Structure 1
Amino acid sequence: MNIKRKSEFFIISSICLLSFLTCHKIPTIKLRDFPFQKNIEPSHTLEFPVDSDWFNTKEPLTKDKLLGKVVFLNFLSYTCINCEHILQDLKSIERKWSNELAVITIYSDRNYSKEKNEIVRQAILLNDIDHPVVIDKDFSLWQTYNLNSWPTLIIIHPNGEILGQFSGEDIFQSLDSIVSEVVKDSESSDTLNRNKTLPLKKTIEPERLLYFPEKLAIDAKEKLLYVSDSKNNRILKIHIESGEILESIGSGYSGNKDGDYDSSEFNHPQGIFLKDKSLFVADTKNHSIRKIHLEKKVVETIAGNFSRARTIHLPGFGKNVNLSSPKDILELQGTLYIAMSGHHQIWKMDLKTSEIDLFIGSGNNNLLDGNFKDASLSHPYRMTYHDNTLYFTDRETNAIRSAKLIQEKVDTLAGKGIFESGDVDGIFPKTRLQNPSDLFYHDGLIYFSDSQNHKIKTLNPITKEIKTLIHSKNFDETVHANKDNSFEPSGISLFQNKIYFADIKNHSIRILDLKTKELSELKIKTHLNIFKNKNSFYDKFQTYKLKEIKISPKSNFLNLNIRLSKGFSWKYNSPFYFKKTSLNENAVKFLSPKEEYLQRPKFPVSFPIQTISENSEIQIHSVLYYNKLNQPLQELLKKVQIQIKVIVDRYGVVNPTVDLEI
């Protein structure tokens, strides 16, 4: 449904529903008054399939648990940009009506597989969803309520009757009025129960070095890798060969402050683009474009005023213009191109004058080729450029499109439409993708990440032929991924004939050698304390006092081997923390940084040391992440302090190993 039709439908629905609430007692409203819900029997409302998978709850929700509350059933898709927007409006309504309202988000997917549970869990974390979430595995709930678009809200009275539905976004004021009227009526009819509570259990994870990394930008000359660390609300500067985090840009807290690296704030930054000594950032949930001055070490807002645009297009200058969920940026000859996902368009900004204007797209959410003005896009996500042509991924239509700048014409290279997805190589129009993400042009081909097919593929822009380059299943022994041994590629870039890509699922950076086809991982580490909760992170370590060891003065390493009890496994996609202390450095001295964060450490971990003489006590603080084998999605944390007395002896062990089972 395009935005204009959404708006018209939304207004009509609002008027109809509000008139019913004003002119009729709510319990007397009959389902026949709502023809779009004529297939729903009253006894079937608030019923969910018994095999449904739930999140953010201790147990599945039933009708009995929900009666007594005003209920919103919020139908979403995890690639729908308008669905992201409605979640923000719902947060405001939930805060205001916390005792009267229950919101349930329903992710509907006609191509359900068990793997989609992990995708939904990621969506919950990315969008900070606190209320219950359920997966509509086979579209049964979607069909029951006779729906035809995302996002759609079904509104249910505390007595269980359906009142109406809304499709679209920007709904706070209307829904706030409706909830107020329903609450008044249900109080008079004694059907509202403010004291009833739902069995909630929020999906949470500990802090990570990388948390949903999105886009990459490479400074080949300086051998630097910039990463938009989206959920950590920061940009990381990493040495591309050692994996050492050199600088963290942004405090890590969600906000919109400009300033130096430590005090500035971002809100889910995604697209980044490196140009000379500046790094441009699409600060998606701030609805703004930021510029990082790499020499001055300062963050500046250059476009957007941190408020989401409600109209399709309103030209203007710099910070006076409202933007809508910019997902990527690309600079060409003084013009900054912006993937304005919230409006299904591409905008442009003159960096000299700061003038911002529409560039491509009618604003209709669809897959329609043609001239720049009339073409329809659908959640433009990432962009690249070659030979007077912009190439971009269209996320909701699972498509890759081209925009020829001279001819001003949009053409589809892969993809068919919003409800068409799959994993089919070959030649257009037979090819199918599933949520393609980032892309770059190299040597006649477009390399792109076909994210939810867990593949990196190539596309010939002339013949429109797609071929799979790698699939995560080919690398089960090397990726150390989640239980299904798969990666989910997002940001993708080229350096020295190697593809670097962000594995958004496993919160890591991987490297594919194009010559050898070998896949490896960039081991991210740092001696910086870049976590937000800097104090509580180091509290409450459990102490283990181990027996003394004799160490040879010829030793160059001290090895630490920590083992888990039976029934547990390491959760390698979190940053393991190690702090090493020698109370007598004349005896034993650690040569590596005192504090380190290691991504995916392989036990035993080796620490470089220098041994001289005498005795010392060594202390190693470590923060470890693991899970139960039968609960792979639940992450557990263990803080240990290891104390060992060390005697330097010429008959001691060379490079000894300290062993501990927890």
Structure 2
Amino acid sequence: MTSTAPTASLRTQGRVRASELVGRGWLNTGGTQLDLEALRGKIVLLDFWTFCCINCLHVLDELRPLEEQYSDVLVTVGVHSPKFEHEADPVALAAAVERYEIHHPVLDDPELDTWKAYAARAWPTLVVIDPEGYIVANLSGEGHAGGLAVLIPELIAEHEARGTLHRGDGPYIAPEATAGTLRFPGKALFLPADGDQSAAGSWLVTDTGHHRLVRLATDFETVLDTYGSGTKGYNDGDSTTAQFNEPQGLTLLPAVVAEKAGYDVVIADSVNHRLRGLNLSTGAVSTLAGNGVQRLLEAGPARVDNDGAATDGALASDPLQVALSSPWDVVWSQKLSAVVVAMAGVHQIFSFDPATGAVKILAGNGLEGLLDGPADQSWFAQSSGLAEDAEGNIWVADSETSALRKLVIADDQSVTVETAVGKGLFDFGFRDGAAAEARLQHPLGVTVLPDGSVAIADTYNGAVRRFDPSTGTVSTLARGLSEPSDVIVDHTHVAGEEPLLVVVEANKHQLVYVPIPKEAQQVDEGASQTQRPKSPVAAGPFDLTVRFKAPTGQKLDDRWGDPTQLKISSTPPELLVSGGGTSVGLKRTLELSGDVPEGILHITARAAACDGPENEDGEIPDHAACHLYQQDWGIPVLLQSDGDTELVLDLRGMD
């Protein structure tokens, strides 16, 4: 049986003793090596994360208010258990801890030792340990801040009464911050002088780590303008008072559209979950779409029987009332006459019409993975880069599947999704050649070259790659870069000369020019898979249970039937003989094939719960705030005769 309890735990009076924290070293402790004994007397919240994961970044933001409110009793420990090979680099991890302004100790767990000791199966996973060192909760996915806000005071009261709670400062020690004009820049946009694409214009850069935009001269050193106060937050206003929160993608509207709209540039303001507009003449910043609430659940009763899209993909009629989720990149689509948005946080592609304010779901049903076909049936995984080609198709850097995808837009504006490079959530590498065998590693940016081929900011390989649609092959244009997050064709090249590429080198805090070589490199450093342990399972009947207990003060919303749901599929599909598909409930019996040696079970669990107090009939009042809890798991499995015949996962498990 697969258990969610730590594999090396001790049980005392029915309680589970927390396993020791084991890894390569610690960050944010001033060099001190921590252990559970040093944290005894505190409420410890283990946050299993990896810095590629957008859901993990959401959780970091969810936890900040709790960390501040309970700073004298709560110690959050980030356990960084990497998915990609690059994330195991300690230098890259240190940069990520600084970039995301993590203000708690972080354990570097490159071999997944602590991950395995706690039987974690998903990023993110939260484990709550009480002041005596026992596990009291296992939580998967996002949206648990409300439940923790109830649980933590309960633990404080209990352990103060016992005398086992110790108040005082925690072990966090801030590292030295990076200084410079730019700090972890995200994306860049060429601004032509007076609308002339060949003139020496300037470059608008999202200075993500400084929470602002910077306009640079073509030497990439001279600062011409800044937009935003540089203080993290949300505020519309002029160039000095406006505020952003980790802005990312940028796109320039056509002049005729910009004149009518009243702004020139659309900005993906990622952590504010909004689209913003910038008027280059006045420096004014405005909000175009998004209410600032991370998109998890449609307004109204908590339902789990759909993916949150209306039949035509349209969302709320007022764009300022639409919930978005980590918009990461934007591009103007000539064919759609709209801005296309990579909505990384919900694994979908949206569109925004500046003329009407309409926000629609363009592609993706919200499930995380790689699946092609009609737009409303396709799967994406944290799409982070967009570019339009001459035919009006949209190329997508789909980061978590290490894939290059394409939205093929027909004349009637119907959309079909295709994959050019990439295999799935757990496959990556650094390999050129035929696209079917080529591998990327967490790409974040994409652009279309003058010859119609596609350049890719292959972020975790530190490279710029090229996909040639005419030959179906992948090659390498440049390597040795430090987490390139965007790549753009330089429009200011002299006629007759080969254009340069402009690369945003995030971890060196700079933009650089990179020539396009006439003869691209051919690299084969192999294909890899995420090094997560495979669960041994037996062929035949297989019982799956997802544990969920609503937080104190909430109740499962059963007004319209069972408020829980499981979606199950597999890679390869032949692994599942029966039991796949979508149905209510959090228990399911599958049948696994004995003819498939290994594969991946894809499991999505949802549960809807609403706040009390209940009325005298024990029913949820109509005005109650409702919450959707959801987690996607990809469980690698190995078929063997003595394998497990059941699996227990925690959506929200309480011990």
Alignment TM-score, normalising by the size of structure 2: 0.69
Residue 241 of structure 1: how far off its partner (Å): 4.2
**Counterpart among 411, 421, 433 of residue 414 in structure 1:** 421
Question: C-alpha offsets along residues 102-124 of structure 1, whole Å, 9 cap, x if unaligned?
Answer: 11001112555797212222221
In structure 1, what is the equivalent of residue 286 of structure 2? 300
1:453 equivalenced with 2:461 (yes/no): yes
In structure 2, what is the equivalent of residue 471 of structure 1? 479
In structure 2, what is the equivalent of residue 41 of structure 1? 9
Structure 1 residues 403 and 516, CA gap change in structure 2 (3 angstroms): closer
In the alignment, the residues of structure 2 paired with residue 192 and residue 509 of structure 1 have an alpha-carbon distance, to the nearest angstrom, of: 50
Instruction: Give the secondary-structure state (helix, strand or coil) at the position aligned to 1:187.
Output: helix
**Counterpart among 182, 188, 200 of residue 210 in structure 1:** 182
Q: Where do 1:84-483 residues align within 5 Å?
A: 84-109=57-82, 116-195=89-168, 197-218=169-190, 219=192, 220=197, 221-241=199-219, 243-275=221-253, 276=255, 278-311=264-297, 313=308, 315-316=315-316, 317-333=318-334, 334-386=337-389, 387-406=391-410, 408-442=415-449, 443-472=451-480
**Greater relative contact order (Cα 8 A, min sep 6): structure 1 or 2?**
2
Residue 222 of structure 1: how far off its partner (Å): 4.5
2:71–2:170 contact (8 Å) kept in structure 1 = no
Q: Which has the higher Rg, Structure 1 or Structure 2?
A: 1
1:324–1:342 contact (8 Å) kept in structure 2 = yes
Tell me how many residue pairs correspond in the alignment: 472
In structure 2, what is the equivalent of residue 616 of structure 1? none
Question: C-alpha offsets along residues 145-175 of structure 1, whole Å, 9 cap, x if unaligned?
Answer: 1121110001112111112310010111111
Gaps of 5+ in 2: 12-16, 259-263, 298-306, 310-314, 494-498, 521-655
Gaps of 5+ in 1: 1-31, 473-485, 519-662
In the alignment, the residues of structure 2 paired with residue 110 and residue 262 of structure 1 have an alpha-carbon distance, to the nearest angstrom, of: 39
Question: C-alpha offsets along residues 295-338 of structure 1, whole Å, 9 cap, x if unaligned?
Answer: 23211111112222222646123212121110011112431111
In the alignment, the residues of structure 1 paired with residue 519 and residue 175 of structure 2 have an alpha-carbon distance, to the nearest angstrom, of: 37
Runs of 4+ residues deviating >6 angstroms:
none
Aligned-pair identity in percent equals 27
In the alignment, the residues of structure 2 paired with residue 313 and residue 462 of structure 1 have an alpha-carbon distance, to the nearest angstrom, of: 38
In the alignment, the residues of structure 1 paired with residue 218 and residue 231 of structure 2 have an alpha-carbon distance, to the nearest angstrom, of: 25
CA RMSD, 1 decimal: 2.3
In structure 2, what is the equivalent of residue 580 of structure 1? none
Residue 516 of structure 1: how far off its partner (Å): 8.2
In the alignment, the residues of structure 1 paired with residue 7 and residue 350 of structure 2 have an alpha-carbon distance, to the nearest angstrom, of: 43
1:82–1:342 contact (8 Å) kept in structure 2 = yes
Paired letter, 2:212: R
Structure 1 residues 368 and 131, CA gap change in structure 2 (3 angstroms): same
Paired letter, 2:485: S
Structure 1 residues 68 and 249, CA gap change in structure 2 (3 angstroms): same
Structure 1 residues 489 and 38, CA gap change in structure 2 (3 angstroms): closer
Instruction: Give the secondary-structure state (helix, strand or coil) at the position aligned to 2:4.
Output: helix
Structure 1 residues 110 and 290, CA gap change in structure 2 (3 angstroms): closer
Instruction: Give the secondary-structure state (helix, strand or coil) at the position aligned to 1:84.
Output: helix
Paired letter, 1:457: R
Alignment TM-score, normalising by the size of structure 1: 0.68
Structure 1 residues 92 and 398, CA gap change in structure 2 (3 angstroms): same
1:68 equivalenced with 2:41 (yes/no): yes
